[in-house]
């Protein structure tokens, strides 16, 4: 029996990148999946990749109705709803995110909306539905190592870091509150992963040199979207039924490494 047989999962931000890779992995483990993304072309491409075991919808995670509509679709199409994976988020750099002394009001608002407010809305919808159904459920939220392990030289976007730290605080507080109802909430925190949002970093030779030491696992590389798939499977399956309020860094060693040149290092 596969780890997710009979489970129906909603992935908010699931039509591209990390979310789509996870959705495919969840289906591979027996789940039925509804994914949501903002762009029609991405949703169409995702639908082709997911096949009959998945359904792709168009919706903005910042819209308070998006997650609820996706959950309703999961129940009408697949006759259930057991878990939510919130992946949606993004950089606010072009809106004015940056170091604290250069932050703009729009940069703050937009970055928090993209990364924290949208997540709180989707979690609220999932929790409300689990409570209505009087059933256990699981939520996995996408964080970032920047929420607890900063990189001042190369990743000085402080509103983004605040949003990702906020995800941890929100998730742990909600996990504590809803644990007696058997609603589990956890966070996966990646390091630098090769996604469209990370293109700036992935094309910067100085940052790549930094990453070769900051993420030293597997030869010192940028993460791949599939590196997070098994963590998603674990947290969204019954294998983690006794786990809640946890933050798992899937970061290639980022959070335990200095990221400096190894020249001259000694024991």
How far is residue 121's CA from residue 91's CA, in Å, rounded to a whole number? 19
- Number of DSSP helices (H) and strands (E) in the chain, helices first: 9, 7
Q: Is 160 a catalytic residue?
A: yes
Strand-pairing partners, residue 264, are none
> Which of 150, 134, 170 lies closest to 255 in space, CA to CA?
150
Residue whose token pair is 């679709």:
73
> Which of 44, 23, 43 lies closest to 225 in space, CA to CA?
23
Ramachandran assignment for 253, one of left (phi > 0), alpha (psi -120 to 50 degrees), beta (any other): left
Catalytic residue among 160, 177, 178, 234: 160
Return the H-helix or E-strand segment holding 219.
none
**How buried is 69 (Cβ within 10 angstroms: 0-12 exposed, 13-18 middle, 19+ buried)?**
middle
- Which residue numbers are catalytic? 160
């Amino acid at each position: 029996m596969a780890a997710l047989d009979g489970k129906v999962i909603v992935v908010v931000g699931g039509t591209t990148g990390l979310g789509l890779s996870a959705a495919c992995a969840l289906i591979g483990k027996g789940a039925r999946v509804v994914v949501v993304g903002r762009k029609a072309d991405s949703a169409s491409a995702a639908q082709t990749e997911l096949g009959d075991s998945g359904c792709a919808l168009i919706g903005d995670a910042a819209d308070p109705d998006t997650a609820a509509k996706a959950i309703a679709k999961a129940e009408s199409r697949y006759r259930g709803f057991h878990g939510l994976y919130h992946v949606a988020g993004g950089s606010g750099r072009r809106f004015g995110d940056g170091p604290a002394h250069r932050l703009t009001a729009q940069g703050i608002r937009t970055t928090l909306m993209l990364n924290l407010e949208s997540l709180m809305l989707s979690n609220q919808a999932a929790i409300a539905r689990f409570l209505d159904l009087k059933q256990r459920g699981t939520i996995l939220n996408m964080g970032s190592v920047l929420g607890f392990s900063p990189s001042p030289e190369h990743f000085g976007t402080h509103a983004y870091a605040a949003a990702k730290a906020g995800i941890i605080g929100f998730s742990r507080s909600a996990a504590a509150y809803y644990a007696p109802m058997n609603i589990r909430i956890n966070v996966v925190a990646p390091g630098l992963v090769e996604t469209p949002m990370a293109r700036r970093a992935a094309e910067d030779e100085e940052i790549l040199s930094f990453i070769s030491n900051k993420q030293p696992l597997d030869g010192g590389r940028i993460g791949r979207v599939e590196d997070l798939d098994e963590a998603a499977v674990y947290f969204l399956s019954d294998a983690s039924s006794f786990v809640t309020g946890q933050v798992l860094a899937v970061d290639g060693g980022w959070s335990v490494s200095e990221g400096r040149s190894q020249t001259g290092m000694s024991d």
